[in-house]
Structure 1
């Protein structure tokens, strides 16, 4: 699997990582997925590793450390040693000041069972009682002190990205990443300045929800009754519903047809498009609730679409999102 550099750091990552929000089990994030048993999480991580995945994204907010512990428990059960894979986690800013960034780093390392934090991210730009510059400076000190490998942000606008990058530059550091929603049905980064800012600054965009909460898998188009099995909050955020199914059907049909030509699933083609269309600026972190899903999604990094296939999906995507 050809690796991609994380921002301007020397760290290289597989184009597809594993998002670990599905390991939350409790708290607000736990409402998005049904609980995942540890043996299932362990099997999912094994499948991802076997598929060439070299990094994992988790967060403090994902079950208050439950996701972090489930991930690193799985890694240890497979004999993976600290430092052999990359781990990205996130500080939860809501209702906190920047002082909690250094105050909670010990909790993060404890939840990660002493696996190092290769990328520490500010989970969102709002909710903190401190300014963005104050938060970024606190993150910078962690990197300078060797407690984290790099600093990233999540859900930041173009202006907020540039502000964070400027603060880090003043500390002799560089902003590594911005984690945003990016997929065939959500391409706001192209028009809101985030993609342009990322390319200008040399920042990696980490695409969360690269399959639009499962809508791009095609399984709901094949059997709309399956929508009833999706937890309400995911249905709402993913924009699931009969009208969405019909509006996106031509795109799913295109994904399916191209998939047949490659012996691949619509999910794999959607991920392959994301990696091809945006190039080295983007890496993706699909989640997986079963090991076979993790294996399938990891394999998408090896697919190579033709220019015509990439263009056809671009056109179908724009038509599906035009309204």
Structure 2
């Protein structure tokens, strides 16, 4: 890990931190300097000790130079103001801050954190920026461009990226993605958006670029367009879990999709096979199906707060009961929670799950999925049982 850390500090990833007149090699080891993207004011904060993950818990993101943990963290719920996750009533900024500190305890600066400009209408990025500044840390940050109706040109992409970087208080991020394809009027701007991502790379705003919720045809078009500038497509973020297993074959550098025991579309339609063939990392969002696979709501007979409760219908609970029973059996044998087993299943499939963590407790449970692997027999058994469960409905974008 020390060798890898030095490589990151000397390589392009070090540019994520705002520049300082003091060379990195001569700075105090217990102090990290950060400069806000829009301010020359420097601040000194104590550096949090960096844990050392085993080599088995680290992976290369596709064919890029990025080295990431085998499990990332999603920040969708941080600062959410839609009412979907219960922010403001069930948890707040302090809980998100404690979750971030727990991320550092587990992953250190190697942490891979996924956010987007639309999460909390920018609050997720702002919170993450504040937390990084407070702790003087620079994890691997991924954010996303939203193809809003008024954004029609290539220049809108680097402009949005700069706005995200300002909220994050960074000058460069690890990965920048298009959150969904342009539709209606914006459908005519999809090629322009890809040209905009070329500008993001050329202007040094991100180490890698990608997309999200793209179907096979759109992915292939994106790959060809970016290849004109000799830039690889680094990710496609779509749904994938144990309940949804149908998706289309595609080629890219890293694929980000929803994937869990309940949503496994990329398996049956060839996307996972294609990713392995072309050296693409599949990044799986909602790997716990927004709480369904934790079993906690089933055990207590409760439903989560807000609109998310509509995912937990009585018929859905009945459908997944055999899978929850299988997870419980493994849980009792291994001393791991249902959530940890579900995340480990994603890792065993060669994917990179990014579960959300609203608080410290959830993050520490995520950490329990590291350092071990399910047996081939356990993976096969979970595959078999989940394959009999009616598929969950996926994000609509991937079908358009």
TM-score (norm 1): 0.90
Aligned residue number for residue 320 of structure 2: 248
After TM superposition, the structure 1 = structure 2 runs for residues 47-196 of structure 1, keeping only pairs within 5 Å, are 47-52=102-107, 54-80=111-137, 84-95=138-149, 96-98=151-153, 99-114=155-170, 116-127=172-183, 128-179=186-237, 180-196=257-273
CA distance in 1, matches of 2:343, 2:390: 18
> 5+ unaligned residues in a row in structure 1: which ranges?
none
Q: Does 1:288 align with 2:391?
A: no
Matched-pair contact (CA < 8 Å) for 1:102–1:138: yes
Change (3 A) 1:115 1:210: farther
Equivalent in the alignment of 1:273: 345
For the residues of structure 2 that align with 1:49 and 1:42, how far apart are their CA atoms?
11
Match of 2:13 in 1: none
Distance 2:69 2:232 in 1: 21
Distance in 1 of aligned mates of 2:281 and 2:210: 9
SS in 1 for 2:346: helix
Per-residue deviation at 1:305? Answer: 0.7
Question: Secondary structure of 2:369's match?
Answer: helix
Task: Work out which structure has the larger RCO, using CA pairs closer than 8 Å and 6 or more positions apart in sequence.
Answer: 1
Q: Larger deviation: 299-308 or 247-256?
A: 299-308
Cα contact 1:158–1:197 (8 A) shared by 2: no
Which of 285, 296, 302 is the equivalent residue of 1:219?
Answer: 296
SS in 1 for 2:222: helix
Deviation for aligned residue 1:182? 0.9
Q: Structure 1 residues 115, 68: CA separation in 2 closer, same or farther (over 3 Å shift)? A: farther
Give yes or no for contact 1:7–1:175 (8 Å, CA) kept in 2.
no
Aligned to 2:84: 31
Encode CA deviations 1:178-209: one digit per residue, 9 max, x unaligned. 11211111111123443344334433221110
Correspondence for 2:329 = 257
Say if 2:281 is the partner of 1:204. yes
SS in 2 for 1:271: helix
**Equivalent-residue separation in structure 2 for 1:318 and 1:58 (angstroms):** 31
| CA–CA separation in structure 2 for the residues paired with 1:322 and 1:131 | 33
Structure (1 or 2) with the greater helix fraction: 1
Q: How many Å separate the matches in 1 of 2:100 and 2:391? A: 37
**4+ long deviations beyond 4 Å:** none
Does the 8 Å CA contact 2:293/2:338 hold for their aligned counterparts? yes
Superposed displacement of residue 301, structure 1: 2.5
Aligned to 1:230: 305
Q: Report how far residue 214 of structure 1 moved.
A: 0.2
**Alpha-carbon distance, 1:269 to partner:** 0.1
Distance 1:210 1:165 in 2: 26
For residues 274 and 190 of structure 2, what CA distance do their matches in structure 1 show? 17
How many residues were matched structurally? Answer: 310
Tell me, in whole angstroms, the C-alpha distance in 1 between the residues paired with 2:217 and 2:85.
29
In 2: Cα distance, 1:47 partner to 1:265 partner: 18
Q: Are 1:87 and 1:116, in contact at CA under 8 Å, matched by a contact in 2?
A: no
Please state how far the C-alpha of 1:253 moved relative to its aligned partner: 1.1
Q: CA deviation at 1:141?
A: 1.5
Aligned-residue offset at 1:108: 1.0
Match of residue 321 from structure 1:
390
How much is the aligned-residue C-alpha RMSD, in angstroms? 1.9
Q: What TM-score, normalized to structure 2?
A: 0.73
Residue by residue over 1:13-70, the C-alpha shift from the partner in whole angstroms, topping out at 9 and shown as x without a partner, is 11111100111332x4x53442342221110011122122611000001122210111
- Residue 310 in 1 paired to residue 367 in 2? no
